[in-house]
Amino acid sequence: MWKTMFGCGAALAALAAGGAAWAQDRSAGSAASADDDSEIVVTAQKRSEKLSDVPVAVTAVSADQLQAAGAVTLRDLSASAPGLQIAGGIGSGSLTIRGITSGNDGNSTVGLQIDGAPVGPAAFGAAGGSYMPELDPSLLTQVEVLRGPQGTLYGSSTLGGIVNYVLKQPNLGETEGSFFAEGMTTRKGELGGTLRAMVNTPLATDRVALQIGGFGSALGGFVDNVAAGREDFNNRKSYGGRIALAAELTPDLRVTISDLYSRVESKQDLVVYNPATQRPAAGDLVNNDAVLPVYNSKLNMVALNVDADLHWATLSSITSYQNLDSRNLVDFTAARLGAIVVNFLPLYGGVTLPTPANPAVSVELGTDKITQELRLTSPDDGSFKWVVGLFYNHEKSQNAQVVSSYDENGRPRPGNLSPLVRYDLLTHYTEYAGFGNATWSPTPKLDITGGIRVQFIDQDYRQLYSGSDAAALNALFGDFGFSPTPADSGLAKDSDSVVTYLASVRYKFSPRSMVYARFATGFRPGGPNIIVPGLPTTFEPDTTYDYELGVKTSFWEGRGFFDLSLYNIDWKNIQILTIANGINGQTNGGSATSRGVEASLRLEPADGLTLSGSFAYSDAKLNETIPGGLGTKGDPMPMNPKWSGSLSADYEWPMGDAEGFVGASANFVGKRYSGFQSSLVYAQYVLPSYTLVNLRGGVRVDDWEFSLFVRNLGDERAQLGATTLASNLVAVQRPRTIGAAISKRF
């Protein structure tokens, strides 16, 4: 993996600002004032600013918080930010913010960034909505969640917001490192554990430093396949790391080059549920599908970051090369496509399948992506601040949907059983953009901000169609009056231009309190569909328009912080997943509106005691009926709870030369629909509300920390997401898990 590090040539990048949550950066008994440097710093507006000063709804979660919560996948982050949820039950699922989701989104509605570089495919041909990077907390400083459209500063696929991973940067001044080990046991499941390590060493003090970090995690399974005699089949392994070399070439010029690698190999946490009873169809934690659900993914990202202080401005360049691959396998025995392959295609000359037939669909995605951003940022002082930049993105992607006969372990059977039918959608996606953002402060208390981004998108694509049943499927289509699918569609092209806007007003009542009003837009690119009778050949971009009012205030001499946001998002020309003859595609529907309230509160009422809570109310509905029976006016948006919230309490106290700590957290998520409530295309499933409770406690001695934890204390069978493309597959929460951890910093 490291050999690709020096293959990325271009100049770039802004230093990613980091900051830990208040409780992690203070000794017990100290309270921060409103202008204390320990307050969280974020880069929401492409410059380093205190969280309490940013006129954007943003949550920052430190690496320490993620580690304490046992966060292993991005799914675990959903409890940390109001309005953030995980949609879908296949693969890792997909992120959604403020109800901006149609359920199983082909393209993501939430942008993903790593140190300012967009991650994951933007083209629908690469199914970016199913991709989420899984970065271990050992590699991170913090994760920033920006709620509401962010198209002006961050570009495409930011309809609902963005999630920005801020990585640890090499320390030029001193040698440091850390080690972490964790072991756990899951009720009705297997043992598991995690190892993490990081070392940072200056190669030339205050000039050059090297940082190397790595991790490995093995989570034991807890779902059985009784029919096949398989216990705890849904094991999950992940591993990876990062190497970064930073050099301060002059006092005004810093360069960082890095290579990040992450890999996941897993059977999915999916259980078949009965939609009428909302109970498991074959027993608690049982999935008797003939083919076990598989999800594997890989990310290799090489980045070159350059910051040059020009004194009148900072020139930043952020360059990245990414290689992403994933495979998602789901049994289709109970689906319409499975019945066609088994019962009908042999009548048209197709392959007669053995018993058991085990038809399944494997979605295999691959993307090579290059991004480049050049940005000039004015100094932070003065009454006029600005950011201007240019952006370039080029992707080469392949989306293969492969229908085959598989054994129970997900291996395709040889010969003419694999592939039975194969669709390959090959896409080239190129995006050019220019953007600017300016803030004028006519008085020390009043700020007015405006921004614009102009983007041009070019795509070319072609589809290949093959397989031992390809001719038989075309013959079947012919009997229903459909044109046959060509073996090669030939090259087609599509172009779009999109303009996004931003305007906000902020008024500071005092150095500790402010109110803001914000208008922002976001968009998601259109693109090509797989050529299947019943699907449109292309679909159009969709856009969101956000009207927001927010308040942030620090009080009680810095021991309290409160923020509140009210929003109304209009979503136009919605992109919606549809299905034709068992193959997934995209179409455009009508419009929807999401209205809601989000709030969070943090208190330090006594030395060492931190209390925090958040809640979100989101009312997201279709404004008009979607043609083709996909949804009806008034239907709630899928996978969006009206109510969600969290509570936590942490207490630290001195114990002689040591320090003790305990903590508890609870996360509530309300009822959700797996799809549009009145859909005639997809079967409906209602996911019930749930509450998860976690406990932890331990002791710190010098640079060592020892802790015990219980996750999912109530052994709740929380249903996190669902898909009804085949059987009713529900992603379930890991049962009660008890474990211990040890770590050291030096």
Helix (H, G, I), strand (E, B) or coil at 25: helix
Mean pLDDT in residue range 174-189: 94
Token pair 């198209």: residue? 151
Mean pLDDT in residue range 704-726: 90
Distance, CA of 661 to CA of 707 (rounded, Å)? 9
Mean pLDDT in residue range 665-689: 86
pLDDT of 348 > 70? The answer is yes
More confident residue, 211 or 134: 211
Tokens of 406: 């598989």
> How far from 590 is each of 160, 521, 575, 579, 595, CA to CA, in Å?
17, 17, 9, 18, 17
Task: Say what the pLDDT of residue 332 is.
Answer: 87
Helix (H, G, I), strand (E, B) or coil at 572: strand
Task: Say what the pLDDT of residue 28 is.
Answer: 31
Mean pLDDT in residue range 105-134: 76
- Taking Cα atoms as reference points, which of 34, 44, 39, 18 lies closest to residue 518? 44
- Please check whether residue 86 is in contact with residue 97, taking contact to mean a CB–CB distance below 8 angstroms: no
> How far from 300 is each of 37, 136, 297, 317, 366, CA to CA, in Å?
35, 14, 10, 20, 12
Alpha-carbon 611 to chain mean position: 27
Mean pLDDT in residue range 103-113: 79
42-56, 83-97, 246-260, 519-533: range with lowest mean pLDDT: 83-97
pLDDT of 19 > 50? The answer is no
Report the share of the chain in percent with pLDDT over 90: 57
Give the side-chain half-sphere CA count within 13 A for 588.
17
Count Cβ atoms within 10 A of the Cβ of residue 479 and give its class: 0-12 exposed, 13-18 middle, 19 or more buried.
exposed
Mean pLDDT in residue range 355-368: 91
**What is the value of pTM for the model shown?**
0.88
Per-residue confidence at 35, pLDDT binned at 50, 70, 90? Answer: very low
pLDDT of 238 > 60? The answer is yes
More confident residue, 695 or 380: 695
pLDDT of 20 > 50? The answer is no
Give the side-chain half-sphere CA count within 13 A for 348.
18
Backbone φ and ψ for 128, nearest 5 degrees, come out as -65, -20
Backbone φ and ψ for 469, nearest 5 degrees, come out as -105, 10
Helix (H, G, I), strand (E, B) or coil at 655: strand
pLDDT of 517 > 90? The answer is yes
Alpha-carbon 353 to chain mean position: 38
pLDDT of 112 > 80? The answer is yes
Distance, CA of 207 to CA of 223 (rounded, Å)? 51
Helices (H), 387-501: 470-479
Backbone φ and ψ for 498, nearest 5 degrees, come out as -135, 140
**739 DSSP β-pair partners:** 184, 709
Tokens of 474: 């075309």
7 DSSP 8-state letter: G
Per-residue confidence at 88, pLDDT binned at 50, 70, 90? Answer: low
181-185, 507-511, 580-584, 603-607: range with lowest mean pLDDT: 580-584
Strands (E), 538-608: 538-539, 542-555, 560-572, 575-580, 583-588, 591-606
pLDDT of 10 > 60? The answer is no
Task: Say what the pLDDT of residue 723 is.
Answer: 79
pLDDT of 139 > 70? The answer is yes
| Domains of the chain by start residue, with CATH | 2-745 (2.40.170.20)
Task: Say what the pLDDT of residue 580 is.
Answer: 72
- Taking Cα atoms as reference points, which of 630, 623, 539 lies closest to residue 585? 539
Per-residue confidence at 709, pLDDT binned at 50, 70, 90? Answer: very high
Token pair 């696929």: residue? 157
Task: Say what the pLDDT of residue 684 is.
Answer: 80
pLDDT of 584 > 60? The answer is yes
Tokens of 141: 């400083």
Distance, CA of 540 to CA of 611 (rounded, Å)? 46
pLDDT of 6 > 70? The answer is no
Per-residue confidence at 30, pLDDT binned at 50, 70, 90? Answer: very low
Tokens of 302: 């090489």
Helix (H, G, I), strand (E, B) or coil at 167: strand
Mean pLDDT in residue range 10-23: 30
- Please check whether residue 321 is in contact with residue 1, taking contact to mean a CB–CB distance below 8 angstroms: no
Task: Say what the pLDDT of residue 11 is.
Answer: 32
More confident residue, 443 or 539: 443
pLDDT of 676 > 80? The answer is yes
Task: Say what the pLDDT of residue 29 is.
Answer: 31
Per-residue confidence at 249, pLDDT binned at 50, 70, 90? Answer: very high
Mean pLDDT in residue range 148-174: 92
413 DSSP 8-state letter: P
- The CB density around residue 488, as the number of other CB atoms within 10 Å, is 11
Amino acid present at 350: G
Mean pLDDT in residue range 190-195: 94
Tokens of 738: 């008890």
Distance, CA of 240 to CA of 735 (rounded, Å)? 26
